[in-house]
Amino acid sequence: MRVFLRAGLAVGIALLLSWQISRSSVFLWQALNLTSLVVIYFARKEGEIFGACLGALTGVVLDSISAGIIGGFGIPKTLLGFAAGYTAKRVDVSSFFSSLFFYFTLLSSELIVWSLLQKFVLKIPLSGKALLYQPFITAFLGVSFLWVAEKLGPRLVIWTKKKKKGGRF
């Protein structure tokens, strides 16, 4: 139950951050796909079924707040979550560069599926050159953030334990 709450909270934070980014920079808003990072992260940790379900729910939320029809975001996010969970079980993606390649490949695939749906099924013209940079920028920033969090995570835990005990540094 706790993982569902964490995933929902992470999706909500990603949506709020995306909204704030969209208010300040159109390029960054198009170049960062924060909700996909959340889906990939949880699919890696929890597996393909959880990833597909989280992707579907995230896609439905994005579909409900966008002007498109239901499925324009839901189908690519569902496929992304399933592919991330399925591949992460079978391939070691623990190093920085393998993780970067993993995220880049998944984000590129999601962008291709989304673009095909927008262009040929929904008949919506695509615009924005930042979309071409989206997989690399999102993958690089996401993997870099996770790598730093992994390196600093144990230090932060020790620091908070010392702080609670009242110890000095």
| Tens digits of residue pLDDT in 10-48 | 999 999 998 998 888 878 888 889 999 999 999 999 999
Percent of the chain with pLDDT over 90: 45
CA distance 129 to 118: 15
In the predicted structure, residue 98 carries a pLDDT above the cut 50: yes
Q: How many CB atoms lie within 10 A of CB 66?
A: 11
Taking only the tens place, the pLDDT of each residue in 112-161 is 888 888 777 766 666 667 678 888 988 999 899 988 888 777 665 555 55
DSSP assigned state of 68: S
Greater confidence, 151 or 85?
Answer: 85
Classified by CATH at the fold level, domain 2-165 comes out as Arp2/3 complex 21 kDa subunit ARPC3 (1.10.1760)
pTM summary value: 0.82
CA angle, 104 then 12 then 4, to 5°: 85
The per-residue pLDDT of the chain, averaged, comes to 84
Which residue pairs from 85-90 have beta carbons closer than 8 angstroms and sit at least 24 positions apart in sequence? Answer: 85/43, 85/44, 85/46, 85/47, 85/48, 85/49, 85/50, 85/51, 85/52, 86/48, 88/43, 88/44, 89/47, 89/48
Mean pLDDT to the nearest integer, 92-100: 88
pLDDT at 52 (0 to 100): 95
In the predicted structure, residue 79 carries a pLDDT above the cut 80: yes
CB 35 within 8 A of CB 139: no
DSSP assigned state of 70: T
pLDDT at 123 (0 to 100): 66
CA distance 39 to 50: 9
pLDDT at 76 (0 to 100): 92
Helical residues (DSSP H) of 91-129, grouped into ranges: 96-116
